[in-house]
């Protein structure tokens, strides 16, 4: 009988995996859901019918606009700003030489003192503009005290050149050192799992820090996005519900030296309480998980995001262990098992688990029956004659 039971269990598991593979293989693409947040944290949203006046606000906050630009556009602005300023001031230097009749076509006399020495045309004016703004100073072309216009133009170009250098170099440095790049070394598990933990049904997610440097003051939380209809009949798309994630030590100031398994307890207040293993794939929601922290090296605040749709939440699984201790006494993290899951025995719904607990608790307690009435019976003495 035991062998027959084991064979039936293995057969049931085999058909279960086969059915899951068949649905994923042939119907996975058609059932693919739209995400608000991609797996790598990018937001899938666009703004339409924005007024032209509102678009000007981006130019008012020019610093943030430049930082948010992609690298190809940023480098285009970088090169254009320098080449444009050099050529613009080269034209001005050419105009100064033209007005003062310093150019060779005017045939200046031998005792003529030009505003700028050795400017013979537009090319030499451009070279002098370049030497002035980047302070090369070859010593061949120089400004004389002959005209105040050239002296004023020299001062103006020097000040403007410093401003351009400061802004563009600062934008490049800020782009490189943005904490968003630090967030690339924080990774989440591919799937979320639902299983029992500490006697409670929990939704578990694994997160790891790929660097040895810590995130200070880390805080993790989640948002459940779904479409809801209010009692007034209003349809709210992307309605947000708070999801509390914790580890055994809490959800703030995480000691993020090794991969952590964070979990959300599915209790009566959880939006997952009324879901079951059979109805989970038919649900329409997106679970967005956030991790906020301060980079230890730069003291900059960063945020890491990822999301899970119902197809990525595995009911009845837990994560495989990944931390071990070597013979040398070091702790080793095997990232090969980072997203690997193991099937475990799990109640098919949270309500069943709590009903089972209530039933066990009631068995340990006694209850009075209000309909029970004790009636006294007078015993007769049959031996009396």
Kindly report, residue by residue over 26-38, the tens digit of the pLDDT.
Answer: 444 434 567 889 8
Domain shared by 208 and 159, yes or no: no
| Listed residues 142, 161, 177: the one ending a domain | 177
Does residue 218 form part of some domain? Answer: yes
Domain shared by 67 and 155, yes or no: yes
**Residue 253 has which token pair?**
């100031």
Structural domain harbouring 353 = 182-360
CA quadruple 141, 143, 147, 151: dihedral, nearest 10:
140
Does residue 367 form part of some domain? Answer: no
Report the candidate in 230, 306, 281, 317 with the shortest Cα–Cα distance to residue 33: 281
- Rounded Cα distance, 75 and 377, in Å: 104
Domain shared by 186 and 169, yes or no: no
Residue 25 class from Cβ within 10 Å (0-12 exposed, 13-18 middle, 19+ buried)? Answer: exposed
Kindly report, residue by residue over 138-158, the tens digit of the pLDDT.
Answer: 778 889 888 889 999 999 999
| Listed residues 109, 143, 177: the one ending a domain | 177
Q: What 3-state class would DSSP assign to 244?
A: coil
**Residues forming beta bridges with residue 293, ordered by sequence position:** 302
Does residue 191 form part of some domain? Answer: yes
Kindly report, residue by residue over 86-119, the tens digit of the pLDDT.
Answer: 999 999 999 999 999 989 888 888 888 899 988 9
Task: Decide if 291 contacts 311 (C-beta within 8 A).
Answer: no
For the chain, the domain total comes to: 2
Domain shared by 109 and 152, yes or no: yes
pLDDT tens for the chain, 385 residues: list them: 545 655 666 666 666 666 665 555 544 443 456 788 988 888 888 877 777 666 677 778 888 888 888 899 999 999 999 999 999 999 999 999 999 998 988 888 888 889 998 899 999 999 999 999 988 877 788 898 888 899 999 999 999 999 999 999 999 988 888 777 777 888 999 999 999 988 889 999 999 988 888 888 888 899 999 988 888 888 888 899 999 998 865 556 677 788 889 999 998 889 998 888 888 988 889 999 999 888 887 788 888 999 999 999 999 999 999 888 888 888 888 888 899 999 998 888 887 777 666 555 555 555 555 555 555 555 555 544 4
Does residue 6 form part of some domain? Answer: no
Residues in the chain: 385
**Helix, strand and coil percent figures for the chain, each rounded to 5:** 40, 25, 40
Domain shared by 216 and 355, yes or no: yes
């Amino acid at each position: 009988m035991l062998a027959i039971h084991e064979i039936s269990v293995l057969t049931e598991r085999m058909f279960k995996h086969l059915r899951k593979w068949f649905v994923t293989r042939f119907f996975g693409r058609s059932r693919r859901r739209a995400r608000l947040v991609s797996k790598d944290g990018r937001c899938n949203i666009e703004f339409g019918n924005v007024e032209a006046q509102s678009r000007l606000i981006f130019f008012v906050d020019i610093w943030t606009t430049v930082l948010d630009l992609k690298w190809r556009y940023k480098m285009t602005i970088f090169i254009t700003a320098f080449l444009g300023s050099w050529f613009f001031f080269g034209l001005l230097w050419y105009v100064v030489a033209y007005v003062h009749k310093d150019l060779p076509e005017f045939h200046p006399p031998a005792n003529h003192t030009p505003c700028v020495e050795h400017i013979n045309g537009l090319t030499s004016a451009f070279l002098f503009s370049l030497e002035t703004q980047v302070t090369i100073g070859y010593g061949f072309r120089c400004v004389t005290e002959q005209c105040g216009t050239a002296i004023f133009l020299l001062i103006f170009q020097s000040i403007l050149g410093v401003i351009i250098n400061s802004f563009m170099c600062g934008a490049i440095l800020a782009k490189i050192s943005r904490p968003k790049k630090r967030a690339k070394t924080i990774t989440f598990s591919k799937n979320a799992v639902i299983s029992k933990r500490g006697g409670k049904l929990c939704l578990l997610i694994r997160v790891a820090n790929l660097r040895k440097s810590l995130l200070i003051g880390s805080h993790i939380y989640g948002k459940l996005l779904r479409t809801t209809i209010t009692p007034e009949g209003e349809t709210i798309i992307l309605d947000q519900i708070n999801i509390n994630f914790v580890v055994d030590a809490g959800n703030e100031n995480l000691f993020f030296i090794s991969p952590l398994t964070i979990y959300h307890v599915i209790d009566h207040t959880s939006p997952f309480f009324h879901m079951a293993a059979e109805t989970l794939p038919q649900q329409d929601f997106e679970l967005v998980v956030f991790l906020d922290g301060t980079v230890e090296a730069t003291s900059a605040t960063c945020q890491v995001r990822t999301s899970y749709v119902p197809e990525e939440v595995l009911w009845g699984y837990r994560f495989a262990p990944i931390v071990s201790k070597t013979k040398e006494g070091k702790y080793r993290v095997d990232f090969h098992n980072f997203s690997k899951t193991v099937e475990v025995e799990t109640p098919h719904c949270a309500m069943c688990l709590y009903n089972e607990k209530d039933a066990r608790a009631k068995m340990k307690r006694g209850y009075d029956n209000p309909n029970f009435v004790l009636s006294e019976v007078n015993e007769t003495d049959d031996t009396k004659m």
